[in-house]
Copies of this chain bind each other. A is one copy, B any other.
């Protein structure tokens, strides 16, 4: 398997799905739909919808039921970035080499575009009821997972603690909490929604959650490592930003070497769990590997 080729093929498919689910840019409120598209189509690794679709296929899912949820999770991820970048939060003017949404459209539209993406994520996911009304109960379950993992006991909870603790030295406990919620929760949601919509059992879904928790943590630790070892050109964003912002990271807590070993350990456990499920998806295995060995 040529991983890069397979990966790129999937990114293209995902971007086609995203474009299809974006709202029409028309009416008096046109500016908000433009801002939504600007932020959603700004590139990115698309790993959440990718993990969702691969998990769906792992459990034998076929057809288009997964697509509105793929679009929804990327909209949720994107809204969180749009709001993170606001002046009252991280105050970032650039992301992935482009001006951030509030810089282009103004702070008021930046706030509203984030709200709009979050709301539209649920609107989009709900179109699944029209696609397969006979699977309403499964769709309801998937919605519950999506909403739960995006909320105060998931991503928003992690973001809250991250914001409140920024500028302080924090313990490994608190750092784990932030990473598990801020980064891990949506990765867990991705694979769980894929599993549930494909008809996986509660037990299989819980196993996928467990695997994704390790993947999310490894992914975030690798982010910490790249901030120290990579270059701005390679990463497409400034390196050494954690040091500059005096951020506690896995690297500052346990050092570069141990952090690398921890990320490898978590990934190898995740792969082990995945292989033990009795289903096979070679690309998903390669993807988990890439997430921790990636160089950007």
Contacts and interface: CB of A to CB of B under 8 A. Distances in A.
A115 B114 contact: yes
Nearest to A151: B119
Contact of A83 (B87, B111, B127, B148): B111
Contacts of A156: 29, 32, 112, 115-116, 119
Contacts of A139: 136, 140
A129 B119 contact: no
> On chain A, which size bracket covers the interface?
35 or more
A32 B126 CA distance: 27
B151 A116 contact: yes
Nearest to A120: B151
B143 A122 contact: yes
Interface string A27-39: 1110111001000
Interface stretch (A157-165, A235-243, A259-267, A277-285): A157-165
Interface in A88-144: 88-89, 106-112, 114-116, 118-120, 122-123, 126-127, 129, 133, 136-137, 139-141, 143-144
Contacts of A133: 137, 140
A147 interface: yes
A120 B152 contact: yes
Nearest to A124: B147
Contacts of A293: none
27 contacts: A29-B153, A29-B156, A29-B158, A29-B160, A31-B164, A32-B156, A33-B152, A79-B115, A83-B111, A87-B88, A88-B106, A109-B160, A109-B163, A109-B164, A112-B163, A120-B152, A122-B147, A123-B144, A123-B148, A123-B151, A126-B140, A129-B140, A129-B141, A129-B144, A136-B136, A136-B137, A139-B140
